[in-house]
Structure 1
Amino acid sequence: MLRRDSSGRSSAERREGAWMSLRDRVTNILLRPSDEWRVIAREPSSVRELYLSYVAPLAAIGPLASVVGLSVIGYGSPVTARYRVALDHSITQAVVAYVSSLIGVYVLAFVIDRLTPIFSGWEDELQAFKLAAYSSTAAWVAGVFRLIPALDSLVLLGLYSLYLLYLGGPVLMRVPEQNVVGYTATIIVSAFVIFFVIGVINSWLFPPPLSP
């Protein structure tokens, strides 16, 4: 017997609805960011809900693709043997990268919220988290290229996230137009520092394997 919620939908229907909602949001924020930021700004939500429905699934793309790319597909040239990373090592690195992304988004949202008043914007923890989460969409989606190590450089397409951040700041945090460039640049530097520190810690705790 199928279990249904108060709206009469089965669990399968709820999962399908959640997937369609995620797909539509990703498509809209990447292709129509200016319009989508205005929709996002008005949406009632919570940090927990955003983590579960958006951040958690998208942040997993890169780490999962990396495990398959490094340990299953492997890398190397046509004239040399293919090299594959031990599965347990790639899984460990993927878990660490995934957890780091989840932590990094929260820290970035905290920094965004604290920096906003300096640029005459409005402090709002939820809106700051929306900005950190949704502007990261391109970077997370680009992680799919880690599936094929030879295409790893295409992960740089995730830099489109910087443009999303630039468009979202004035809409969500009410930063005046004349301050947007400085505001965005400051957040970018802050994000670089945050994830650089996280990366250094991860490399120290879990050093990559040496190539043969």
Structure 2
Amino acid sequence: MGLVDRAKNIIVTPRTEWSVIAAEGGTVGDIYRNYVVPLALIPAICSFVGMSVLGFSLGADHMRVPFFSGLIMAALQFGLGLLIVYLVALVIDALAPRFDGRKGMLPAFKLAAYSYTPAWLTGIFLLVPVLGFLSILGLYGIYLLYVGAPRLMAIPEGKAGLFTTAVVVIALIMSFVLSLVLAAFMPVPAMM
């Protein structure tokens, strides 16, 4: 299945699409190459264009992140985005048996990768920094994780909510730590 069809289906008909995904083969590398990498580029590129190329207004001042600093920031954002998906998959795989599910790195990676779809797609709003708040729509991925956990990791329906909560809390902590790493490299915007 193509990237666009998969992204559309996971957003619009997640219950049906998770069953399709569960039945598919493939490898973690295939999913990275054909799905994660192209989608993870969206927020990195859009953030770079919005902050370094187009710039943003702060009161009466128009500001821009310096070009090369913006490139470095985008590369770090992209790299950390690839890393967090893998780390979340490790968490999913480790937690599944504790919630009466089954272990399996491939289904855990599928669950992590496809659940991140809304977060990556809403990265388009970073083109216009003032619209960046709309990235909150990416939280739909939490629902996708909840719906997909029983289908991919055999988590009982009654435990899917608690499993999802545990994964999300751990993912937020990991994301916070990784964002601190990114912030250490964040340049100060320059006035234009």
TM-score range, shorter chain: over 0.9
Find the partner of 1:208 among 165, 187, 191: 187
Whether the 8 Å contact between 2:101 and 2:153 is mirrored in structure 1 is yes
Separation (CA, whole Å) in 2 of partners of 1:149 and 1:200: 20
Give runs of aligned pairs for residues 1-212 of structure 1, distance below 5 A: 21-76=2-57, 80-204=60-184, 206-209=185-188
* Separation of aligned partners in 1, 2:147 and 2:25: 20
TM (normalized to structure 1)? 0.87
The separation in 2 between residues aligned to 1:112 and 1:183, in whole angstroms, is 9
For structure 2, the 5+ residue unaligned runs are none
Deviation (angstroms), 1:211: 6.0
Structure ID, larger Rg = 1
Deviation of 1:200 (Å): 1.1
CA distance in 2, matches of 1:134, 1:111: 15
1:25 is displaced (CA, Å) by: 0.3
Greater relative contact order, per chain length (Cα 8 Å cut-off, separation 6+) = 2
Backbone CA RMSD of aligned residues: 1.3
When normalised by structure 2's length, the TM-score is 0.96
The share of aligned pairs that are identical, in percent, is: 42
Which SS does the other structure have where 2:126 is aligned? helix
Tell me if structure 1 keeps the 8 A contact 2:51–2:70. Answer: yes
Distance apart, 1:145 and its partner CA: 0.3
Q: How many residues align?
A: 191
Q: Distance in 1 between matches of 2:53 and 2:190?
A: 16
Q: Given residue 151 of structure 2, which amino acid in structure 1 is its aligned partner? A: V
Provide the rounded CA distance (Å) in 1 between the counterparts of 2:131 and 2:105: 37
Q: Which residue identity does 1:88 align to in structure 2?
A: F
Runs of 4+, deviation exceeding 3 Å: none
**Higher normalized strand content (fraction of residues):** 2
Give the residue type in structure 2 aligned to 1:116. Answer: A
For 2:164, give the aligned amino acid.
T
Determine if contact 2:66/2:190 at 8 Å carries over to the other structure. Answer: no
Q: Deviations over 1:142-161 (max 9, x none)?
A: 00100011111001110111
Cα distance in 2 for partners of 1:152, 1:162 equals 19
Gap runs ≥5 in structure 1: 1-19
